Chains A and B, each alone.
Chain A
Amino acid sequence: MVTTLDAPVDQGLSIQTRGVGHWFDTKDGRLDVLDDVTIDVAPGEFVALLGPSGCGKSTLLRLIAGLDAPRTGKVGADKVRIVGPDPSRLLVFQDPTLYPWRTVRQNVALGLEATGQAKGAQDRIDRALDLVGLRDFAGSLPNELSGGMAQRAALARVLVNNPRLLLLDEPLGKLDSLTRMTLQAELVRLWQDARFTALLVTHDVEEALLLAERIIIFSPRPARIVREIRVDAAYPRHRDAPELQVLRREILVSLGHDHEL
């Protein structure tokens, strides 16, 4: 069960959702966020969920993470129904949400501690820190890190557990554009090395085109699948590649932003 970081997980999880609907009960009544969402993600695939902000994509990630249960429909991993959180399916949020009272190293060790594997795992933690280039900041506290470094630490915190599925909830949304470009390239590299399945929620068309093999486009809330687009370009991709520009145009049309082209 315990795999080491340098032996890549050869098999990402596959994800199935069947007719998933979800809503929240607010004081103004029922707020629908997901409507009849059916998705299949193959093991090791990188899929972007693209849609306007606040459309309900993040809720879908929480359902797949097992943090919430869908009101209707089914959510499964490797064709087994998801009933709760599991360390094989890990989330990275828009905010790094590192524990401010723990050093970077202690934050990275969190999952190993939670599952009782922390003892003797120092090498594994070191490798995870190396993977995101934070070895020299292992002893730093989160409030001493820049936004990009904090998000790297948050990535190390999940990667050290060898997740089979990485759920990325606009993880680069709050970073400055240069840091974001660096981290986009690093995400692709990490995914290519470790072969986990990746589900990226974003409202950034360019980011989806750079990272994902497949882009699922959602409507405004309640999120409904509008369209799927396959991106066949080889990695590493260049943002100015003409084939991506063509797809970008198509996606913007699907999102209803054709008048801005």
Chain B
Amino acid sequence: MNSLAETNRFASLAAITGDRPGVALPTPWRGGLAAAAAWALTAALTWAWPDLTPWVRTGLLALLETGVALFLAGAALLGGVRLAAIHPYDRWFGALAAILSLWQVLTAKTGLLPLPFFPPPQSILEVYTDDAARLFESVWRSLVLLIPGYVIGGALGFLAGVSIGWSKAANYWGHPVLRFVGPLPATAWLPIAFFFFPGSHSASTFLVGLATFFPVAVLTASGVKGVNSAYYDIARTLGGSERFLILKVAVPAALPNVFVGLFMGLGSSFAVLIIAEMMGVKAGLGWYLQWAQGWAAYANLYGALIVMALLFSGLISLLFHVRDQVLAWQKGIVRW
């Protein structure tokens, strides 16, 4: 009956695409087909409905939207199991097409939302095609500022946390400092940091490091303090030295906590980074945002925000990936 007709349809389709006949194709990804149709409609709307005032990249936008539609259609019909991972997101693909259409209707097509505060998507696309060099430079400068500060702050926070968690003396002196100074947002140090450090770059590295240091130190310390004391009893009876107890028991047992600290530190280091770039560094994505605002270039602003979102969520994903590798023994950990 129905399934037979479908099988025939797939057989002819397989012949067209050069697949070996007889290989059973899975049923098509219906949600993907619907999403492809939505993107095709969006592309038609972009292309056929003239802009109120012509935008340079309307044609390119229509082309890209067609590309997405073709990709989804291809994935739906031919992708098989290889692209199955994106199948649950069919409604998201559809919704993005709808948002893109609505956004264009309200801006480029009818002008219901006023410029310059509501730039159409084609103008953001224009930012990526025409201002790519500056954006890349900004991303690069942000990373150069962020990563050394994060690594130094994280490493020092880890060492401080292990010391405070392990040694009574370090805890006596270190814990009150963490409790008292830790709650200060790193941005509050900004005026002092820019005064004390020779350049804005070193000041920002310091601030990013500080923002990372506290959560990592606090969580590492509490992780080390919370280790099951029977783990230590075992290692001590087996002849483990203090060094062995720290490196082979306390640190691995505290690692899940360390990663929570690194995650929180990464979040607050983003905030500090952007503010430091806006206030003093004159480079990087934070500076780009301010520069764009100064020129009322709202398309650049939104464009940079999207890049920033991609960059930061990418960095957090990377951290979680490392965590999953290191803590593969753990089950039921928080997913990102």
- CA–CA, A100 to B231, complex, Å? 10
B229 CB to closest chain A CB (Å) equals 10
Complex: chain B residue closest to A163, CB-CB: B237
- CA–CA, A102 to B241, complex, Å? 19
Residue numbers in B under 8 Å from A111 (CB-CB): 238-239
Contact B231 A97 (CB under 8 A): yes
Q: Does A110 contact B (CB under 8 A)?
A: yes
Contact A161 B253 (CB under 8 A): no
Q: Does A86 contact B (CB under 8 A)?
A: yes
Q: Mark A31-52, 1 if CB is under 8 A from B, else 0.
A: 0000000000000000000000
Interface residues of B in 219-235 (CB under 8 A from A): 228, 230-231, 233-235
Q: Does A66 contact B (CB under 8 A)?
A: yes
Q: Does A186 contact B (CB under 8 A)?
A: no
Residue numbers in B under 8 Å from A62 (CB-CB): 233
Contact B244 A114 (CB under 8 A): yes
Q: Mark A88-117, 1 if CB is under 8 A from B, else 0.
A: 011101010101111000000011011100
- CA–CA, A18 to B327, complex, Å? 47
Q: Does B240 contact A (CB under 8 A)?
A: yes
Contact A91 B253 (CB under 8 A): no
A222 CB to closest chain B CB (Å) equals 22
- CA–CA, A95 to B234, complex, Å? 12
Residue numbers in B under 8 Å from A101 (CB-CB): 252-253, 255, 327, 329-330
Residue numbers in B under 8 Å from A143 (CB-CB): 329, 331
Which of A91, A100, A141 contacts B237, CB < 8 Å?
A91
- CA–CA, A36 to B237, complex, Å? 25
Complex: chain B residue closest to A65, CB-CB: B237
Residue numbers in B under 8 Å from A95 (CB-CB): 230
Contact B238 A99 (CB under 8 A): no
Contact B237 A87 (CB under 8 A): yes
Q: Does A67 contact B (CB under 8 A)?
A: yes
Contact B235 A67 (CB under 8 A): no
Q: Mark A108-144, 1 if CB is under 8 A from B, else 0.
A: 0011011100000000000000000000000001010
Residue numbers in A under 8 Å from B321 (CB-CB): none
B308 CB to closest chain A CB (Å) equals 35
Complex: chain B residue closest to A160, CB-CB: B238
Contact B239 A86 (CB under 8 A): yes
- CA–CA, A87 to B255, complex, Å? 27
Which of A65, A89, A99, A161 contacts B231, CB < 8 Å?
A99
B169 CB to closest chain A CB (Å) equals 22
Query: Taking A91-B233, A113-B248, A114-B244 as contacts, is the C-beta distance between A100 and B238 under 8 angstroms?
Result: no
Query: Taking A111-B239, A114-B239 as contacts, is the C-beta distance between A97 and B252 under 8 angstroms?
Result: no
Interface residues of B in 243-287 (CB under 8 A from A): 244, 248-249, 252-253, 255
Contact B239 A99 (CB under 8 A): no
- CA–CA, A99 to B244, complex, Å? 14
Interface residues on A, range: 20 to 34
Residue numbers in A under 8 Å from B231 (CB-CB): 97, 99
Q: Does A54 contact B (CB under 8 A)?
A: no
B36 CB to closest chain A CB (Å) equals 43
- CA–CA, A194 to B248, complex, Å? 29
- CA–CA, A111 to B249, complex, Å? 12
Complex: chain A residue closest to B228, CB-CB: A97
Contact B236 A85 (CB under 8 A): yes
Complex: chain A residue closest to B327, CB-CB: A101
Complex: chain A residue closest to B233, CB-CB: A67
Query: Taking A90-B238, A114-B240 as contacts, is the C-beta distance between A99 and B252 under 8 angstroms?
Result: yes
Query: Taking A97-B228, A101-B252, A101-B253 as contacts, is the C-beta distance between A114 and B241 under 8 angstroms?
Result: yes
Q: Mark A152-171, 1 if CB is under 8 A from B, else 0.
A: 00000110010000000000
Which of A66, A89, A97, A100 contacts B234, CB < 8 Å?
A97
Complex: chain A residue closest to B230, CB-CB: A97
Which of A66, A85, A99 contacts B249, CB < 8 Å?
A99
Which of B235, B237, B331 contacts A89, CB < 8 Å?
B237
Which of A110, A113, A141 contacts B329, CB < 8 Å?
A141
Query: Taking A100-B329, A101-B255, A143-B331 as contacts, is the C-beta distance between A110 and B233 under 8 angstroms?
Result: no
- CA–CA, A90 to B239, complex, Å? 10
Contact A100 B230 (CB under 8 A): no
- CA–CA, A114 to B253, complex, Å? 17
- CA–CA, A95 to B186, complex, Å? 44
- CA–CA, A141 to B239, complex, Å? 23
Residue numbers in A under 8 Å from B239 (CB-CB): 85-87, 111, 114-115
- CA–CA, A95 to B241, complex, Å? 23
Which of B233, B238, B255, B327 contacts A114, CB < 8 Å?
B238
26 contacts between A and B (CB under 8 A): A67-B236, A85-B237, A85-B239, A86-B237, A86-B239, A87-B237, A87-B239, A89-B237, A91-B233, A91-B237, A97-B231, A99-B231, A99-B252, A99-B253, A100-B329, A101-B255, A101-B327, A101-B330, A102-B329, A110-B238, A110-B248, A114-B235, A114-B238, A114-B240, A157-B234, A161-B238
Q: Chain B: residues with CB nearer than 8 A to chain A? A: 228, 230-231, 233-241, 244, 248-249, 252-253, 255, 327, 329-331
Q: Chain A: residues with CB nearer than 8 A to chain B? A: 62, 65-67, 85-87, 89-91, 93, 95, 97, 99-102, 110-111, 113-115, 141, 143, 157-158, 161
Identify 16 new A-B residue pairs, CB closer than 8 A, beyond the known A85-B237, A143-B329.
A67-B236, A85-B236, A87-B239, A89-B237, A90-B238, A91-B234, A93-B233, A97-B228, A99-B252, A100-B329, A101-B327, A101-B329, A102-B329, A113-B244, A114-B248, A158-B238
